[in-house]
A and B are shown apart, each in its own frame.
Chain A
């Protein structure tokens, strides 16, 4: 199974949208850098992420969430991971696909 990473804001690029469309059931999506804006509740893209979580697991890199001051806005169901968690995810998946 693939670990997808997304490092662009969904408001600026369609990376997260394309990633979700291309992810198989059971895949993992890790939001990093400006990608973490895709993990927020009450935004124009919250529904997209919420729906995706019916079939894929979404993670967000905690240091990037905290840097941007959005820790209190993360969607229910999104799991926060630290850098070690990032490494574990990379290690436990067969491939990493980076959506830039």
Chain B
């Protein structure tokens, strides 16, 4: 491949997609995904995050977990930019079903229709599903 990218140490840069489909707090998937994204960010790969189905709720503004004794990890999504994780996508149908718009989310996102989601997935080297 002529267009293959290399990181600073000469290793190949692969395209990683983290596919997030679970609501926060009810299960551990959302937090575990975020942990893996942050770990993976240290390896300077080409990272995208896609939020579908109840995964959309991970990004909902106004989360306040004082009453349930769990860590509110929603501010961490705003810090991803500092780790060069800047490609955040949400699935349009999932947003519509939940009555959510981009303004309801803690970070700027690109909204994708089903065909664009399919293209995004096809374009990846690795998809990690949570």
Contacts A37-B57, A68-B24, A68-B25 hold; do A43 and B99 have CB atoms under 8 A apart?
A: yes
Min CB gap B72→A, angstroms: 7
Q: Are B98 and A11 in contact (CB under 8 A)?
A: yes
Q: Are B99 and A66 in contact (CB under 8 A)?
A: no
* Other-chain contact of B23, A9, A46, A66 (Cβ < 8 Å): A9
Instruction: Tell whether B42 is near chain A: CB-to-CB under 8 Å.
Output: no
Min CB gap B14→A, angstroms: 30
Binding site for A on B (CB under 8 A): 22-27, 53-54, 57, 60-68, 70, 72, 74, 97-99
Instruction: Tell whether A73 is near chain B: CB-to-CB under 8 Å.
Output: yes
Residues of A contacting B65 with CB < 8 Å? 66-67
* Other-chain contact of B25, A34, A40, A44, A73 (Cβ < 8 Å): A34
- For chain A, give the interface size range: 20 to 34
Residues of A contacting B60 with CB < 8 Å? 68-70
Q: Are B63 and A68 in contact (CB under 8 A)?
A: yes
Residues of A contacting B99 with CB < 8 Å? 40-43, 46, 73
* Other-chain contact of A66, B27, B54, B64 (Cβ < 8 Å): B64
Complex: how many Å from CA A62 to CA B72? 16
Binding site for B on A (CB under 8 A): 7-9, 11-12, 33-34, 37, 40-44, 46, 62-64, 66-73, 82
Contacts A9-B54, A44-B98 hold; do A33 and B63 have CB atoms under 8 A apart?
A: no
Residues of B contacting A11 with CB < 8 Å? 53-54, 97-98
Q: Which residue of A lies closest to B72 (CB)?
A: A67
* Other-chain contact of A12, B53, B64, B72 (Cβ < 8 Å): B53
Contacts A9-B54, A11-B53, A63-B68 hold; do A69 and B62 have CB atoms under 8 A apart?
A: yes
Q: Are A63 and B98 in contact (CB under 8 A)?
A: no
Given pairs A11-B53, A40-B99, A66-B66, 10 additional interface contacts (CB within 8 A): A9-B26, A12-B22, A34-B54, A40-B98, A41-B99, A62-B67, A63-B66, A67-B67, A67-B72, A73-B99
Interface centre among A34, A69, A71, by most chain B C-beta atoms within 10 angstroms, is: A69
Residues of B contacting A44 with CB < 8 Å? 97-98
